[in-house]
Amino acid sequence: MKRTLTYFFTLIFFTLFSINVQAIPKIIPKAPSIAAKSYILIDFNSNKIIANNNENMAVAPASITKVMTAYVIFAELEEGNIQLNDLVTVSKKAWKTPGSRMFIKVNSKVSVEDLLQGMIIQSGNDASVALAEHIAGSEETFAALMNQHAQELGMNNSNFLNSTGLPNPDHKTSAKDLAILANALIKRFPQYYKWYSTKEFTYNNITQPNRNKLLWRDNTVDGMKTGYTEDAGYCLLSSAKRNNMRLVSVVLGTDSANARAQESQKLLNFGFRFYESHVIYPVEKALKNVRIYKGKSEQLPLGVKNDLAVTIPRGQYKNLKPAININNPLVAPISKGQQLGKVEIRLNGKLLSSSPLIALKTIEEGSLWQQAKDSALMMLE
């Protein structure tokens, strides 16, 4: 009997010990010190901020401005307002724009596609102005378009006055805004994002390399954009994908081209080493089929409007706890996209992410007989 009791209590002890060990969150060290005026590191899938400092501080973005310029142009292409093979007549203003250039000639005709690559890969200010004038008539009007798109994206610390990033005291953005922009561009325009990984581009018999040194140092880095002015310092917006995890880092105001690459690499390595990213519920995939009363159909698939993703310490996936809460009972008519509940993801009791649970199809009212029958069922239940 004594031996049986000893075994019993020993079993309970080890069971409880195992549960407690499993529940203890993985220890994550403090993010590395970054020699920059401001920076941010976010997970592309979940938008979780992994590391940051002065991320909302309005600063000069230099040529990283051209990511916003490209976003507007990609939107114009998507809407069919312009085509990649459209020919753009280069104005004297575009030709004379100072700073980095792709060396287009005044009054020459250059395709939108060539200008985009000259702007993205070679960081051509001349290409940026030529594209802005082609789309909006003037660079000033194009800057107004940039600001409208920025507002739609929630870039609350940004004000764009030109398409190039050439110095202007009122031309500002922030590390967080640039991360928002990068995420939006990669998600919405993957077919054009590929240009950001191109290492060199040749135009007018002149070959120029991409200024993003991480493209050579780290083969998981596939974009995005460098910038430099005396006011802004050396800046780098970069993105890398390892396995199923993509991170976006923004480092603004470092002391050298090498430093911006080095500090960005620190952030990316930290994020990939200590965190993992999971899309728990993909967009518009049926998570659950539920009973619908008084409808033409008795079953309704429910899902999420956008991917529900989480960023967690490595090794903690098994401790995630999903919960689906439905606003029962569900009665027709129900429209596709209508919110009918909520789904939550918790880790060790802490809420990580939540999303509205929506109808994935429309359910119209059923016949009078169906409505009467279901009314009786609902009373009994």
Catalytic option among 46, 123, 158, 238: 123
Please state the rounded mean pLDDT for residues 334-363.
93
> What is the pLDDT, as a whole number, of residue 26?
59
Q: Worst-scoring range by mean pLDDT, 129-133, 206-210, 218-222, 322-326?
A: 322-326
| In contact, 158 and 172? CB cutoff 8 Å | yes
Q: Is the torsion defined by CA of 188, 190, 193, 195 positive or negative?
A: negative
Q: Which residue type occupies 293?
A: Y
What distance in Å separates the CA atoms of residue 134 and residue 119, rounded to the nearest whole number? Answer: 14
Higher pLDDT: 380 or 271? It is 271
- DSSP track, 12-75: HHHHHHHHHHHHSPPP-PPPPP--SSEEEEEETTT--EEEEESTT--B--GGGHHHHHHHHHHH
Residue 197 annotated as catalytic = no
| In contact, 265 and 214? CB cutoff 8 Å | yes
Q: Which residue type occupies 333?
A: P
Q: 282-380: same fold as 38-276?
A: no
Three-state SS at 347: strand
| In contact, 381 and 351? CB cutoff 8 Å | no
> What is the pLDDT, as a whole number, of residue 3?
43
Convert the pLDDT of each residue in 175-195 to its tens digit.
999 999 999 999 999 999 999
Distance of CA 311 to the CA centre of its chain: 13
What does DSSP say about strands 288-293 and 330-331: parallel, antiparallel, or unpaired? Answer: parallel
**Would you give the end-to-end CA distance of the chain in angstroms?**
50
What distance in Å separates the CA atoms of residue 253 and residue 72, rounded to the nearest whole number? Answer: 25
Please state the rounded mean pLDDT for residues 38-56.
97
Residue 46 annotated as catalytic = no
> Is the pLDDT confidence value at 119 over 80?
yes
Higher pLDDT: 151 or 381? It is 151
Half-sphere exposure of 299 (CA within 13 A, CB side): 5
Report in angstroms the alpha-carbon separations of 155 from 53, 55, 76, 237.
Answer: 17, 12, 19, 15
Q: Which residue, among 130, 140, 73, has the nearest Cα to 107 in the 3D structure?
A: 130
Convert the pLDDT of each residue in 196-237 to its tens digit.
999 999 999 999 999 999 999 999 999 999 999 999 999 999
Residue 123 annotated as catalytic = yes
Catalytic option among 63, 100, 264, 355: 63
**Mean pLDDT of the chain, nearest integer:** 91
> Is the pLDDT confidence value at 48 over 50?
yes
> What is the pLDDT, as a whole number, of residue 371?
66
What does DSSP say about strands 320-326 and 339-347: parallel, antiparallel, or unpaired? Answer: antiparallel
Convert the pLDDT of each residue in 241-276 to its tens digit.
999 999 999 999 999 999 999 999 999 999 999 999
- Which architecture characterizes domain 282-380 according to CATH? Sandwich (2.60)
| In contact, 124 and 165? CB cutoff 8 Å | no
What distance in Å separates the CA atoms of residue 340 and residue 331, rounded to the nearest whole number? Answer: 10
Q: Worst-scoring range by mean pLDDT, 18-27, 141-150, 227-236?
A: 18-27
374: confidence class by pLDDT, cuts 50, 70, 90: low
Alpha-carbon torsion angle 102, 222, 186, 110, nearest 10: 20
> Is the pLDDT confidence value at 380 over 80?
no
| In contact, 253 and 83? CB cutoff 8 Å | no
Q: Which helix (H) or strand (E) holds 373?
A: helix 368-380
> What is the pLDDT, as a whole number, of residue 25?
46
| In contact, 245 and 48? CB cutoff 8 Å | no
Contacts of 57 by beta carbon, 8 Å cutoff, 6+ apart: 37, 38, 157, 174, 175
> How would you class 279 by CB atoms within 10 Å of its CB: exposed for 0-12, middle for 13-18, buried for 19 or more?
middle
Q: Which residue, among 126, 193, 188, 200, has the nearest Cα to 163 in the 3D structure?
A: 126
Domain ranges of the chain: 38-276, 282-380
Please identify, in words, the CATH class of the domain defined by 38-276.
Answer: alpha beta
* Percent of the chain's residues with pLDDT above 70: 92
> Is the pLDDT confidence value at 18 over 50?
no
Contacts of 185 by beta carbon, 8 Å cutoff, 6+ apart: 67, 70, 71, 74, 193, 224
Catalytic option among 37, 48, 66, 176: 66
Contacts of 206 by beta carbon, 8 Å cutoff, 6+ apart: 102, 103
